[in-house]
Structure 1
Amino acid sequence: MTNPGDGRNRDSTPHITNPVNNPSGPPPVRISPRLGWIIGGVVVAGLIVSQSVRVIPAGFVGVVFSALSGVKPNPLEAGLHFVVPFVDQVNLYDARLQEVTLAQNAAQNDEGSIRARSKEGLDITADVTVQFRIDRSKAAILHKDLGRNYINTVLRPQLRSKVRDSIGQFGAADLISNQRTQLEASITTELQKSFARNNLILDAILLRELKIPESVAQAIEQKQTAEQQVAVERNRLQQAEISAQRDVVQAEGKAKAAIETAKGEAEALSLRGRALKENPQLIQLTVAERLAPGVQTIMLPSDGNFLLDLKSLGTQTQPTPQQPTAPAKPGN
């Protein structure tokens, strides 16, 4: 019970002013029903517009799922699109070039290397990268059949399977030497068929690395080294044979040339002998040509058919010097 004479208790009680009963307070804010309907309509309209407008980014396609009719067959290309609000749901799919790597030191979202066996049964480890893209025109079928997790449900298992099957068709030595391109072609051919069935487009298969046991690699390297040495020796032998054949051909050519030269000389001598026989004067002409100019001779074209030695002729025609006459004895 409060003591009315106790001023202390009366002052300690808080005094609350009632704005309704206090005419000096601020007037209350009142919203008319009409304004409330307008604000509510604007909010609902904005929500409807936000749900009906969808923007597809560049490089993506949108697959529309309708709560009434299911997946719509025509995907939405990049740009602005209108859908049925609260009924249609747009699922984005990346239609750009993508890649998945299966390697030992793969990224966080990738798996490890592919282990397979060669034609001889040797263990081979392959690091592979596959580059692909989805079929834009069949994105709706991809969404309906595989869903957004198609990389893990289809792509990776198919890649591992096709790589193992293709490696099993080749020998280990061929894979690390000269059959790498053929292996890539085999994997590409088989993987293209699998991707086509799942509405994916294969762009490229890249064999990053092929590993075989170290002991096998050393044996293959030694074998290849021996084969290369044999090839070098074979090339040397072929070069020697070619050189010998060239010498034989040159000798045969020289022999044929000598024979033809001898034939020509014999024919020339025969013709010359026939000419001398038919023309005896040519003998004197030939002798004169051989003797001239060291020997002074004169050829007389007479029927005697002889040569006259000018020196002997000069000796014969020179007068003999006279002997001095002895003085006469007196008395004779």
Structure 2
Amino acid sequence: MRNSFIVAIIAVLVVLYASIFTVKEGERGIVLRFSKVVRDAENKPAIYEPGLHFKIPFVETVKTLDARIQTMDITADRFLTRENKDLIVDSYLKWRINDFSRYYLATGNGDISRAEMMLRRKFSDRLRSEIGRLDVRGIVTDSRGRLTSDVRDALNQGTHEEGGATDADSAIASAAALVAKETKGKQPAINPSSMAALGIEVVDVRIKQINLPQEISEAIYQRMRADREAEARLLRSQGLEEAEKIRAVADKTATEIKAKAQSQALVLRGEGDAEATKLFADAFNQDPEFYVFIRSLRAYEKSFQSKGNDVMVLSPDTDFFRYMKAPEDLRPRTAD
């Protein structure tokens, strides 16, 4: 009897344990009954918020899904602009689950890797289409905010562009068809080319970097280098030309100053010579004989102070020796 009671208690505890499940913060729970999502009378799935909940043991299972915003880095890829120029765009996006039941069915039991694979392919196609409508200037300047918002809206709402569906569109449409089959068409109509068909909402799209391909960057660098070298040559040429002008002006100024100085020197020398001549004339007029005597003495001094072996042959009767022969000639002469 006692053993039966213990077994009953254990059975009750096991059943109670199997009936209780916990949903953690940042998660949502979906109850599956025989691998199908449990829905209410209005065909709405039962989504469990964080906390303690109950389920039918051994019949129902719980699948928890991450309800937080996810960040997905997109590998840098090459895109073609409206002018047929290549750009390397590095970007990322943020997304979250907004329809847990649809997400669970469309991604194969809530496989996040499958969801991100389809989201990445769809994002790449959408970004390529949007970049193809813009030129490089529009992409790298003020159009970047509009570009990312257009991509986000197109991912969430889908598009109705002509030109055929891409592989990503086909994959999403197949997932949407699977959801419609599982729910017997009781789900609201959703554009099969949008991420809403997977139960996903794209919260934000950001472009981290926009670069030119290596070969184009090298060509631009070489062109910029050639332009700078040409500009440097032009500046050097202008500098040399300006230096020649300055040198010519300086030479002209120096020549003018030198000529003016020489002219002033000649004038001063002429004035000095005139003054000396005047002084000599005044001295001669005061005592002509004495003036002649002084001049003769200076001539004697210059003649005999030579240190060489110069020989002068002069006649004794020459006037050069006048004051040597007759010093009395120095006496003042009286008028007759």
Q: Select the structure with the greater relative contact order (CA < 8 A; seq sep ≥ 6).
A: 2
Given the two structures, how large is their TM-score scaled by the length of structure 1? 0.49
Given the two structures, how large is their TM-score scaled by the length of structure 2? 0.48
Query: Which one has a bigger Cα radius of gyration?
Result: 1
